[in-house]
Each structure stands twice: as structure tokens, then as C-alpha cells.
């Protein structure tokens, strides 16, 4: 176990009870305060400007070849550091902020510059996303969608258990939590072959509860990443709300897959939770039967036990939790996804994003989209204010949360929030 993961660790920074950000978390993000934009970590409700600690020599003991990575306005260069150096930075942060350590504690000159209250900073996109892939790795979700749109008897297509199905998505429309998204307009299916398609604001706007991982290495075109090395190429994870317009999707997706129904806005949580922080939460994934091809076979525990939750808040009303799921349900794990992504020779870069696909669990209250929760509008979801939802209404706010808990340590992802505004 890394020292930085020890459940007994405490810090001299105040951490509220049930905070997502104990000393064992140490996520990375990009924060803005006035004109300052800086690489940050967070402990409790305190956001730490890491570049200030670098200024004052707190990282001089580490053999980091180029300290300019700490002055970037994205985490891409930090992610690109070799894994052993990323671990060394994490361990050093743990040391500096541990209760008994006096290097920084009480040093008012540095603290004044380095510490910010979370409510007084704005969180920006943590990475510059060059490329984005969306997988389809929950067997429950793929089965539900197959039942709803195709044949209940043959809900899963023949390839599904042999490869992690995915598509190349749009990176430009991935935005950080807190960004509002306008309801998309588009073409929808005509009632019959004689009619022309309809055009207008989507009537079936949906969320998709997903998690995404961010890669930490650069590979050459033609190279592929062996499955037992794939996790070392992952920097960390965020919550990913893949907003989807079901009516637009239904008309456009054959034969080449989703297009405009998925590219009008996807929202991520601002803090990247590192693979090191998530290490204690490894768990077994579902049994893969039939056996997968050798290049996708991996031994050990490669799923993660992270509780997920989605709430919808209608305008001026209390929020209702509509879904509770868990990343452990994913049939295909991140190592298999990344290996499959590169097996044909596709090159990857630090900061690239790979979303899991909607994470549905086995029970109806764990389904990760309104499409499944309302079973395509046939079982409306009741809200606390008495209203009902088949899909998302204008001015609804969608909040996703993710937390891993074990041995009294709670590692949270913070929140991934977006409000839906009327079509432009
Ligand atoms: Ca998706």
C-alpha cells in the first residue's frame, strides 16, 4: 500500500466530516481565482495552488526534470510524467500536509498565497482533450437498450461479449461541471416513409451516467498497449454525463452510430481522481463468458467499487435521486478498453478521454439513463415536487456524484452538475 493511501493518515488542514477530499484523495484540477489559473489539489474545502509550493522549493527534493509542468493551464504535461514520478509527487504532497509535518504548517507567507477556499475558486477543464472515445461497456445498459430498440430475445448483438464496443466522439463539446447546456435541435424520425423528417428541439433529452478515464502517455502510430500494461497508462478518472437526444439518435444512428445526438455537450466533474487514490477500491468484475480473446485477457481485480448517484432538480424545487449505480458492474474494464482502443495501431496522447458508456446495474433503480428508468416513457419517474419525468425538462439540473468507501476512508469525485436550458 502507498503511504498516501493509509487509512490512519490525518492532515493539519480542516476536513469536514464526510468530505469527498480527505488527505488520502489528493485529486488534481485546474482552478481559477481572479486572474490566476493554476494546477491545484484539494483537501477538505481547501484548494491548494501547487505552483506556489513549487515556487518555494517544496518539490526540490524530487527529481522532476522540468518544473514548468506545474505552471501549465491543463494537466496534460503533469499526466505525461512517468508513473513513478507521479507517485513521488503524491507522496510528497501527503508528507507536506500530514498532521505532524511542520515544513509548511504555520508558514503564513506561503499559506496566504497557496491556499484558497473552494467556494472562492472556479474550476476549469482539467485537461485539454485531444481525442474522446465513448465505450458501451455495461451489459445491463446494452441489454436494456437492445430490448427497448430492437429484439428483446436478441438484445445483445453478436460482437458485444467479444470486444468493448465504442465510437470516436467529439472532444470540442466536453465541458466542465457547472456549464449549462441548451436543448439540442435536430431531425427526428418521420411517422411513415412518405413524410419528411421533423425538425425542432429534441423532445427526448437524456443523461447518461458514465465514468471516464484520462490517459497519461503518448504512443506512436502503429503501437498498441498490452492489456497488463494498460492501467499504467491511465492518469485518473472523472464523472462523465454523456447528454443524449434519444429522438435525434433514433433517426440518425443507423448505419454509422451516434452523431449529433451526442455532440451538443458532455459534462465532466472537475477533479481528476488518480489511479493511485483509487487503488484500495479494486474489486472483481463480472465473469466474462465466453472467454475473451488472448489480447484482452487479464488476471486480477480490474474493476473499481465506486458508488454512483444521479439526481434531478426541477426549477425552484427540491432534487430527487433517480438512480444509484456502481462502476463495478462494468463488463469491460478500463485496461481492456484501452488495449482494444490501441490494438489496431491507433496512437494515444496524455489528456485523451475514454468514457465507459452508461453504467446501469441489475435493478431498475440502478439504470443509468432516463431512457431505461422510464423504459422509453412507459414508466414515468416520480419527482418529489409531484411532477413526473420521462426525459429531462428545460431548467432541470442534473447532478451526478461518485464515491468510493472502505476502511473509514471516503474518496469522492465531487459533483458533475449541469442545467438544461431551452433550445437556442
Ligand atoms: Ca454514452
Query: Per residue in 124-171, pLDDT tens?
Result: 999 999 999 999 999 999 999 999 988 899 999 999 999 999 999 999
What is the reported pTM? 0.98
Q: How far apart are CA 309 and CA 157, in angstroms?
A: 28
d(CA 23, CA 48) in angstroms, rounded, equals 12
**Which among 89, 169, 83, 90 has a CA at the least distance from the CA of 129?**
169
* Residues 326-355 pLDDT 10s: 999 999 999 999 999 999 999 999 999 999
Q: Is domain 132-421 in CATH 3.50.50.60, yes or no?
A: no
Domain boundaries, the chain: 29-124, 132-421
Q: Classify 117 in phi/psi space as left (phi over 0), alpha (psi -120 to 50) or beta.
A: beta
The pLDDT of residue 1: 84
pLDDT of residue 149: 86
Closest-CA residue to 279 (of 248, 259, 300, 249): 300
CA of 356 to the centre of ligand 1 (A): 7
CA of 242 to the centre of ligand 1 (A): 5
Distance (angstroms) between ligand 1 centre and the Cα of 420 equals 18
Q: Which of 305, 309, 193, 184 is nearest to 241 (CA)?
A: 309
Closest CA to 5 of 273, 207, 276: 276
DSSP string, 34-56: TTEEEEEEEETTEEEEHHHHHHT
d(CA 379, CA 143): 18
Q: What are phi and psi of 148, to 5 degrees?
A: -70, -45
**What residues form DSSP beta bridges with 215?**
234
Selecting among 116, 141, 302, 340, the annotated active-site residue is 141
Give the number of C-alpha atoms closer than 13 A to the C-alpha of residue 335, restricted to the C-beta side.
20
Judge contact between 29 and 78, C-beta under 8 A: no
Q: For residues 155 and 167, what is the distance between their CA atoms, to the nearest angstrom?
A: 19
User: Given this model, what pLDDT does residue 135 score?
Assistant: 98
pLDDT at 101: 97
Q: Is the peptide bond before 104 cis (omega within 30 degrees of 0)?
A: no
Within a 10 A sphere around the Cβ of 80, how many other Cβ atoms?
18
Distance 116 CA to ligand 1 centre (A): 35
6 given a catalytic annotation: no
Cα gap 125→303, rounded to integer Å: 26
Cα–Cα distance, 388 to 380 (Å, whole number): 6
Which residue pairs, CB below 8 angstroms and at least 24 apart, start in 66-74? 70/39, 71/39, 72/39, 73/30, 73/37, 73/124, 74/30, 74/125, 74/126, 74/127, 74/128, 74/351
CATH architecture of 29-124: Roll (2.30)
CA 205–ligand 1 middle distance (angstroms) = 13
Q: Is the dihedral of CA 315, 318, 323, 327 positive or negative?
A: positive
The tally of CA atoms less than 13 A away on the side-chain side of residue 254 is: 7
Cα-flanking dihedrals φ and ψ of residue 96, to 5°?
Answer: -60, -35
Residues of the chain with pLDDT under 50: none
Amino acid at each position: 500500500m502507498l503511504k498516501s493511501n493509509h487509512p490512519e493518515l490525518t492532515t493539519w488542514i480542516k476536513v469536514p466530516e464526510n468530505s469527498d477530499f480527505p488527505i488520502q484523495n489528493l485529486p488534481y484540477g485546474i482552478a481559477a481565482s481572479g486572474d490566476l489559473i493554476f494546477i491545484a489539489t484539494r483537501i477538505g474545502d481547501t484548494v491548494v495552488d501547487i505552483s506556489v509550493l513549487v515556487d518555494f522549493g517544496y518539490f526540490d527534493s524530487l527529481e522532476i526534470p522540468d518544473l514548468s509542468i506545474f505552471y501549465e493551464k491543463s494537466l496534460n504535461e503533469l499526466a505525461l510524467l512517468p508513473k513513478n514520478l507521479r507517485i513521488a509527487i503524491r507522496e510528497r504532497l501527503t508528507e507536506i500536509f500530514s498532521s505532524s509535518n511542520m515544513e509548511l504548517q504555520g508558514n503564513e507567507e506561503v499559506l496566504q498565497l497557496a491556499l484558497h477556499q473552494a467556494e472562492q475558486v472556479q474550476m476549469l477543464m482539467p485537461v485539454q482533450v485531444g481525442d474522446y472515445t465513448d465505450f458501451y461497456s455495461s451489459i445491463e445498459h446494452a441489454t436494456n437498450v437492445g430490448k427497448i430498440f430492437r429484439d428483446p430475445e436478441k438484445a445483445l448483438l453478436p460482437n458485444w461479449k467479444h470486444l468493448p464496443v465504442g465510437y470516436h466522439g467529439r472532444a470540442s463539446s466536453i465541458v466542465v461541471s457547472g456549464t449549462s447546456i441548451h436543448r439540442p435541435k435536430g431531425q427526428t424520425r418521420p411517422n411513415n416513409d412518405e413524410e419528411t423528417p421533423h425538425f425542432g428541439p429534441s423532445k427526448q433529452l437524456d443523461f447518461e451516467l458514465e465514468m471516464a478515464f484520462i490517459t497519461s502517455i503518448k504512443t506512436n502510430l502503429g503501437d498498441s498497449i498490452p492489456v497488463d500494461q494498460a492501467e499504467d497508462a491511465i492518469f485518473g478518472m472523472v464523472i462523465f454525463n454523456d447528454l443524449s437526444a434519444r429522438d435525434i439518435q433514433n433517426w440518425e444512428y443507423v448505419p454509422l452510430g451516434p452523431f449529433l445526438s451526442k455532440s451538443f455537450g458532455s459534462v465532466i466533474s472537475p477533479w481528476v481522481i488518480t489511479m493511485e487514490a483509487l487503488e484500495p477500491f479494486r474489486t472483481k468484475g463480472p465473469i466474462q463468458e465466453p472467454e475473451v480473446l488472448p489480447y484482452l485477457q487479464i488476471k486480477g481485480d480490474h474493476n473499481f467499487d465506486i458508488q454512483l448517484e444521479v439526481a434531478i432538480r426541477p426549477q425552484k424545487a427540491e432534487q430527487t435521486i433517480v438512480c444509484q449505480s456502481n462502476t463495478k458492474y462494468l463488463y469491460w474494464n478500463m485496461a481492456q478498453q484501452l488495449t482494444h482502443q490501441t490494438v489496431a495501431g491507433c496512437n494515444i496522447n496524455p489528456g485523451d478521454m475514454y468514457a465507459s458508456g452508461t453504467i446501469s446495474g441489475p435493478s431498475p433503480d440502478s439504470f443509468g439513463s432516463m431512457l431505461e428508468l422510464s423504459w422509453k416513457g412507459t414508466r414515468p419517474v416520480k419527482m418529489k415536487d409531484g411532477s413526473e419525468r420521462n426525459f429531462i425538462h428545460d431548467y432541470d439540473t442534473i447532478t451526478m456524484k461518485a464515491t468510493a468507501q472502505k476502511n473509514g476512508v471516503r474518496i469522492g469525485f465531487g459533483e458533475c452538475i449541469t442545467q438544461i436550458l431551452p433550445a437556442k
